[in-house]
Amino acid sequence: MLTSANLAAILPFPDIDPIAFSLGPLDVHWYGLAYVAGILLGWLYARRLVDNGKLWLSDTAPMTRAHLDDFILWVALGIVLGGRIGYILFYDLDKVIADPIRAVQIWKGGMSFHGGLIGTTIAMILFANRSKIPVWSLFDIVAAVAPIGLFFGRIANFVNGELWGRATDVPWAMVFCSPHIIAAHDGICPAGPDPRHPSQLYEAGVEGIVLFIVLFILTRWALALKKPGTISGVFVIGYAFSRIFVEFFRQPDEQLGYLLGTNWLTMGMVLSLPMVAIGLWAVIRARYAAARQTA
C-alpha cells in the first residue's frame, strides 16, 4: 500500500520531448531514431561477425559484407511492416475494422515485436533464397544483433512514456505523467496518477543487454555459429522468457487487459510461449545437423 514515505520516494518521470529535433516542417522522433540506430549498429556488428572467419564452419563466413549491405532494406521493411501488421492483428483488430485509417496511425498503438519477428523471418527467407546463402546462418546473424535494436526500441518506449508498468510502491516507481505526455494525449495522462514500474527499462535490460551478452558469449567463445541455428534458437528462447518475466510487471494493453479472467495472463505471454518450443526445436535441430555433418 502506498504511504506518504513511498510517495516521497517516487522517482519523477523525466520530461523528455518525444521529438528529437525538427527539420523545417519535419519532426524527427526519438522512436524513429531508435529504429535507425538499432538497424545501423546491428549492421555494423553483423559485418564484424562476417569478417571473422574463425567464428564460422570451415573458417569462412557463408555470406559477404555485400550481402549484408543489400539485406538492410529487406530487414527494415520486415521489421516495420511486420511490426505494424502484427500489432493490428494481435492487439487492435476490432478498432482498426471500425476505423480503417487507424491502421496507419502508428501513434495510436505502435508496433508488435512478435509481428516484427514474423516479418523479419519472411524477409530473411526470401533474401536467403534470392541470394543463395544458407538461411539458418542468416537467421543466426540477425539473431545475434537483434538485442541491439530491442534495447534502443525499449529506451524509446520509455522516452515516449508508453508501455508503462503496473501500479506499484517500489522505491523506483514512476508516475508516467509529464507535460509532453499530457500534450500528446489531448490534455490527458493515460497512465493516470499511480506510480508504476518502469517496465520499459526492465525490458531494455533483459531483452537488450542481458540477451546480447549471452549471445555474444555463445558466438565468440562457444563458437555457436559453427552450428547454424543455435544462435537463433537461443535468441528466440531468451526473448520469450525475458518477455514473459517482464509481463508480470508490465500493464497489459487497455483494449485487451488480462486474458481468461486472470489477473496476470497477458497477450504478450501467450504469444511468447510458442517461441520457447520453436527455439528448442531450432537448437536441437542444429546439434543433430552438426553431428550428421561431422559423421
**Cα(212)–Cα(147) distance, rounded to whole angstroms?**
5
Strands 174-175 and 11-12: parallel
pLDDT digits (tens, 9 = 90+) for 152-165: 999 999 998 989 99
pLDDT digits (tens, 9 = 90+) for 188-219: 999 998 999 999 999 999 999 999 999 999 99
Q: State whether residue 112 is helix, strand or coil.
A: coil
pLDDT-derived band at 6 (thresholds 50, 70, 90) equals: very low
According to the model, what pLDDT value does residue 198 have? 96
Q: Evaluate if residue 1 carries a pLDDT over 50.
A: no
- Residue 223 cell numbers, joined: 563458437
Q: pTM here?
A: 0.90
Q: Which amino acid is at 3?
A: T
Q: Evaluate if residue 75 carries a pLDDT over 90.
A: yes
- Mean pLDDT calculated for residue range 26-51: 94
Share of the chain above pLDDT 70, in %: 95
Cell 533464397 found at: 129
In contact, 173 and 196? CB cutoff 8 Å:
yes
Maximum average pLDDT range among 106-115, 176-185, 268-277: 268-277
pLDDT digits (tens, 9 = 90+) for 223-252: 999 999 999 999 999 999 999 999 999 999
Q: Evaluate if residue 8 carries a pLDDT over 70.
A: no
**Cα(77)–Cα(45) distance, rounded to whole angstroms?**
20
User: Measured between alpha carbons, how far apart are the two ends of the chain, in Å?
Assistant: 62
Q: Evaluate if residue 177 carries a pLDDT over 60.
A: yes
**Domain residue ranges in the chain:** 26-294
pLDDT digits (tens, 9 = 90+) for 80-132: 899 999 989 988 888 888 888 888 766 566 788 889 999 999 999 999 999 99
pLDDT digits (tens, 9 = 90+) for 130-140: 999 999 999 99
**Cα(78)–Cα(119) distance, rounded to whole angstroms?**
4
Q: Evaluate if residue 7 carries a pLDDT over 80.
A: no
Q: Evaluate if residue 5 carries a pLDDT over 50.
A: no
According to the model, what pLDDT value does residue 131 have? 96
E strand segments, the chain: 11-12, 19-23, 26-29, 174-175
